Structure 1
């Protein structure tokens, strides 16, 4: 047990409590909202969110747990929103990720980024944030450059970074790209847990060695398949869940599907079982009061696709500080803080 940290379940319960007073909360529009992981972090930081999501189960989860609505709908570049948001957030799906798929860039109708960029263009929020897989900076750097330039032409400063979830209190080695379009004064959240991250054991706690009547155990044939999988992939360490370190990245596939890469726990008697929905949710930093809707498979997909709420709150607190700093400077008629220099994309190509 890491004694530098408060108990994990107490930590996420405290950090993700929703404020009682909802008056004068700034509005955040949450596009491609999923089950509300991104929104939960922002609401815990004192914002009001409205979600937009096409999957019905995810919308139902969002509505059940957050103090706002989630509109079940397919977004288009022409979608209009009822109120002007101060912040826009989202995880746009990106179809042109493969070489074969990257044909029309921002003109690809299957892609969510034109929708996100058009919403920023129409409503001019003070800050816009999108999240995506880290590979976007490497396999699709040309397309990422296209997106960043589009945001820059709307008079935003654009910054990005790959954030590791363990650095912010999530017991999982998840890495994701976050890109921020802002008007000055942005600072990335501090890596408060970099040297002493929470572990999978701290997250699962009493659940780790339980085996309910509905537990899904690996069969002998599945054990043999996993053995061959690990040998073929040259795993130095078995890919069971090791409770003394943070977990591997939780994905839809390794949480819900019986694959060689599935997340599983080895019990003291040698049997191995797959993780439950609640265990996957804890590894993603959802508190136990957060209830998922839909089938087990749907719930696993919602969890795997979510932004970890604790990481989302770390970003939301920086958004809040940035907005307050600019509001204070404006109300006191002081000059705005010195603006960051926009990086040229020649530099960006060297960085990538």
Structure 2
């Protein structure tokens, strides 16, 4: 199935949709380091990005009319800074708000489905009206804002449209908040997904159910099987991950930092000949509020930062309370990027790409589900046409 990727960053969502069976034709991204990462992996023949057309620059300046009709999926993660707790939280008043640009691409390409993701901060009470506005904009992309029209006035018109539906292009949108750790990602990373299906697609879709839980991990730490598997000394086995009472113990255990990077060699300044981007980064230190990610729990969410990469969120904290920065390869493991995929640029830029990325395995889980339901809908439509003829 054909797809287009917006705000691709270092490629997390692109890799996930490719794993799910979509073939991305155009990837749009403005950051040159990210584009270099995508092009470098494409040019060396990395399978999941083979043949992609990387458009470096503003997504609003891409000539989408050049694409043949029949795109199945538009995916992307608009910049999160307008809604992130680490940003200024200006939402619609932030020039980096690209939800309007996203809906414009959907309007032009009329895909059968879309997958759009963003940060949990979008659900903060102060953004409640704008969150509703985003949902309605995605549901009715043809109802564009008039010149000089405020988003509040446009919101009123969208609500009227939603209760009458006069436009030809409409989407059934489901918005879901998920924790990546619940889908096998070794990182507690909360994201909002907006998944929409064009209203002529009978998808019968629901968001994929979680596969992993904190309770299951705690159980393996309590019975000792986790520690035995990793050959952890008995004196370091006192830790137990916290688990909510309603956490489902029948699922697979959450994956920890140790699960993700335990087989990698200790990093050195010279780097590794076996693993890409596995180079020791000096200067890590622990202080209040910046204590790193404990090795025997899922990592804290990696962050890109507004004015630079924040070290506290991107450090490993070992059993002896020592800390060091994650290498780029270790951070890539925490984001479930494949080992053969190279992150371009110095440590700061590579970590920024990873801090902005969608975990590949989470992207793949969502995209697999969308792909399967689009295929099933196509089968039902084809079968109905045959009966009719």
TM-score normalized by structure 2? 0.68
Q: Deviations over 1:271-322 (max 9, x none)?
A: 4321111110000001111111122211111111111110011011111111
Instruction: Write the distance in 2 (CA, Å) between the matches of 1:286 and 1:293.
Output: 13
Q: Which residue does the alignment assign to 1:59? A: 35
Q: Which residue does the alignment assign to 1:241? A: 293
1:117 to 103, 125, 128: 103
Question: How far apart are 1:241 and its partner, in Å?
Answer: 2.8
Moved more, 243-252 or 79-88: 79-88
Instruction: Write the distance in 1 (CA, Å) between the matches of 2:65 and 2:206.
Output: 28
1:279 to 330, 340, 359: 330
Change (3 A) 1:100 1:126: closer
Instruction: Write the distance in 2 (CA, Å) between the matches of 1:263 and 1:322.
Output: 39
Q: Which residue does the alignment assign to 1:126? A: 112
Residue 189 of structure 1 contacts residue 318 of structure 1 at CA under 8 Å; is this kept in 2? Answer: yes
Alignment of structure 1 residues 233-272 onto 2, 5 Å: 239-253=291-305, 257=309, 259-266=311-318, 271-272=322-323
Instruction: Write the distance in 2 (CA, Å) between the matches of 1:325 and 1:176.
Output: 27
Aligned residues: 292
Q: Secondary structure at the match of 1:179?
A: strand
Residue 183 of structure 2 contacts residue 210 of structure 2 at CA under 8 Å; is this kept in 1? Answer: yes
Q: Which residue does the alignment assign to 1:34? A: 9
Structure 2 residue runs without a partner (length 5+)? 141-168, 214-250, 271-278
Instruction: Write the distance in 1 (CA, Å) between the matches of 2:81 and 2:296.
Output: 37
Structure 1 residue runs without a partner (length 5+)? 1-25, 231-237, 336-352
Q: Which residue does the alignment assign to 1:206? A: 263
Instruction: Write the distance in 2 (CA, Å) between the matches of 1:99 and 1:210.
Output: 36
Change (3 A) 1:208 1:140: farther
Instruction: Write the distance in 1 (CA, Å) between the matches of 2:385 and 2:206.
Output: 20
User: Does the alignment pair 1:197 with 2:254?
Assistant: yes
Q: Deviations over 1:91-129 (max 9, x none)?
A: 11256547873465xxx7542111110111111111011
Instruction: Write the distance in 1 (CA, Å) between the matches of 2:98 and 2:349.
Output: 21
Change (3 A) 1:246 1:110: closer
Question: How far apart are 1:239 and its partner, in Å?
Answer: 3.0
Residue 292 of structure 2 contacts residue 313 of structure 2 at CA under 8 Å; is this kept in 1? Answer: no
Change (3 A) 1:43 1:99: closer
Q: Which residue does the alignment assign to 1:215? A: 280
Question: How far apart are 1:86 and its partner, in Å?
Answer: 0.9
**Higher alpha-carbon Rg:** 2
Question: How far apart are 1:79 and its partner, in Å?
Answer: 4.3
Instruction: Write the distance in 1 (CA, Å) between the matches of 2:195 and 2:186.
Output: 24
Residue 133 of structure 1 contacts residue 176 of structure 1 at CA under 8 Å; is this kept in 2? Answer: yes
Change (3 A) 1:31 1:189: same
Change (3 A) 1:46 1:274: same
Instruction: Write the distance in 2 (CA, Å) between the matches of 1:276 and 1:218.
Output: 12
